[in-house]
Structure 1
């Protein structure tokens, strides 16, 4: 299906209206998964022509996505990834966990960005970051598209590694479903119950009578993400 390639229109607008020079595109992956971290990539690209075929990671085949990630890693000015673990997601809720992962990624960049382009219409970062939200930014904005590909490829690799050397984790098919809902994943949960990699506050446990007693309820007081740092480190 044909698609319009992403552009630097938003970056140019931010430069003209705010004076920002270093602009990071930010995108996440893993928000809707049952298992594994939520992963956020921050990518700084400047205004150079991107590698051919760059677009939202979901529009690419796994093979092309992996090839493009290698090209992007060498092409971007800088990029970093941050993660929030399943335990942190259960404790904080997804919005705060997303902010935690994004702050980890942004603070891991060699130079702090003057502005951030965030995919979607919800600013989960907030102050002190200067944020421009862009709906479908992963398709229309070069920096966000680059971040979407780099985040997706890295998280998929992390999830595939969970099954290596473990018959138990291999049964969940993380190498194919990356922790997202699938028939294989659901069947393994019914048989084995959640692993240490699963989010125990997710509603999938409601449909598993043998295991629903393991469901965690997030307390109302646990709504603010801790300072950056935490259980999962940065990827550079």
Structure 2
């Protein structure tokens, strides 16, 4: 289906109305997964023409994402990834975990952005960041589209590593489902139960009577986990 390519319209607007010189596009992946981290990418692109075919990662085939991400990582002015672990998601809730991952990504950029374009209608980042939320920003804003592709490809690669490690994760199909619900994932959970990579506060455990006792109820994450920087030890 044809789609309109993303533009620098929002970036230009922020420069004109706020005086922002450095604008970062921010997007996340992994919010709806049952396993693995939630990952946020912050990308600064300037106002240059992007690689051909750039759009929301969900509109690209896996093959095309893998091709364009190599171009993007060379083309962007800078980018950084931030993650929140399953433990942090369980302890903080998704909104706070998203903020933590986004702050880790933004703070890992070589230069602090003057403004942030956040995909969606909800500002989960807040002060002190100057945030402009844009619904479907991953389709309309070049910086957000770049962040969406990088976040998706890099998190998918992290999840694929779980399947190849010697730890019995292969039955869950992480290389193909990236921790999201799928028939293979659901069958493995029913038979084997959750792993250390699963989010244990999520409602999928309610449908697994033999594993329901493992469900967690919002136990705050440790101070050490919250104070750790953008480089997290996932032990994948």
User: Which TM-score band applies after superposition, normalised by the shorter structure?
Assistant: over 0.9
The unaligned stretches of length 5 or more in structure 1 are none
Q: Distance in 1 between matches of 2:210 and 2:179?
A: 20
Partner of 1:40: 40
Q: Quote how far apart the aligned CAs of 1:232 are.
A: 1.4
Residues 70-126 of structure 1: per-residue CA shift (max 9 Å, x gap): 000000000000000000000000000000000000000000000000000000000
Partner of 1:214: 214
Q: Show the 5 A alignment for 1:14-33.
A: 14-33=14-33
The unaligned stretches of length 5 or more in structure 2 are none
Question: 2:121 is paired with a residue of what secondary structure?
Answer: coil
Q: Distance in 1 between matches of 2:110 and 2:74?
A: 15
Partner of 1:134: 134
Q: Quote how far apart the aligned CAs of 1:177 are.
A: 0.1
Q: Distance in 2 between matches of 1:66 and 1:43?
A: 17
For the pair 1:100 / 2:118, whether they are aligned, the reply is no
Aligned-pair Cα RMSD in Å: 1.7
Q: Quote how far apart the aligned CAs of 1:140 are.
A: 0.1
Q: Quote how far apart the aligned CAs of 1:168 are.
A: 1.7
Question: 1:28 is paired with a residue of what secondary structure?
Answer: strand
For the pair 1:148 / 2:126, whether they are aligned, the reply is no
Q: Quote how far apart the aligned CAs of 1:230 are.
A: 7.2
Provide TM-score, normalisation by structure 2.
Answer: 0.95
Q: Show the 5 A alignment for 1:177-188.
A: 177-188=177-188
Partner of 2:62: 62
Q: Distance in 2 between matches of 1:119 and 1:129?
A: 14
Aligned length: 232
Partner of 1:116: 116
